[in-house]
Amino acid sequence: GENVEQHPSTLSVQEGDSAVIKCTYSDSASNYFPWYKQELGKGPQLIIDIRSNVGEKKDQRIAVTLNKTAKHFSLHITETQPEDSAVYFCAASSFSGGYNKLIFGAGTRLAVHP
């Protein structure tokens, strides 16, 4: 079946540093790539997404890049803050059974130390 691999599984940075999380996907027809942030005891919250007709998208301190040829996309967080500490999930769309489902990566636990 379709697969999304996410690296690293854990990431520890100092406040103010940048953090990068990378994902690769297997379905060449994938056209939608969201990123979710999940804090302890809460549901995944959409933080940014990108569609396949765009190579890069930025929203304040977060940005996502997409390389369709290589089938990988990345999340970049600049000037990290302690409140960025959470688990981050990437996902890629996969059309099967007549609808688009999201295939999720296993998650990256980000710790930002003051």
CA 85/CA 30 separation, integer angstroms: 28
Strand positions, DSSP E, 1-114:
4-7, 10-14, 19-25, 32-38, 45-51, 56-59, 62-67, 72-77, 86-96, 99-104, 108-113
3-state SS class at 39: coil
Contact between 13 and other proteins per CB under 8 A:
no
For other proteins, which stretch binds (CB under 8 A), given 18-26, 37-45, 56-64, 68-76?
37-45
Nearer to other proteins, 80 or 105 (CB): 105
Nearer to other proteins, 101 or 113 (CB): 101
Nearer to other proteins, 14 or 42 (CB): 42
For other proteins, which stretch binds (CB under 8 A), given 10-18, 42-50, 57-65, 71-79?
42-50
Spatial contact of 26 and 3, defined as CB atoms under 8 Å apart: yes
Contact between 1 and other proteins per CB under 8 A:
no
User: Residue 83 — φ and ψ, nearest 5°?
Assistant: -70, -5
Site residues, other proteins (CB under 8 A):
31-32, 34, 36, 42-46, 49, 51, 89, 93, 95, 97-102, 104, 106-107
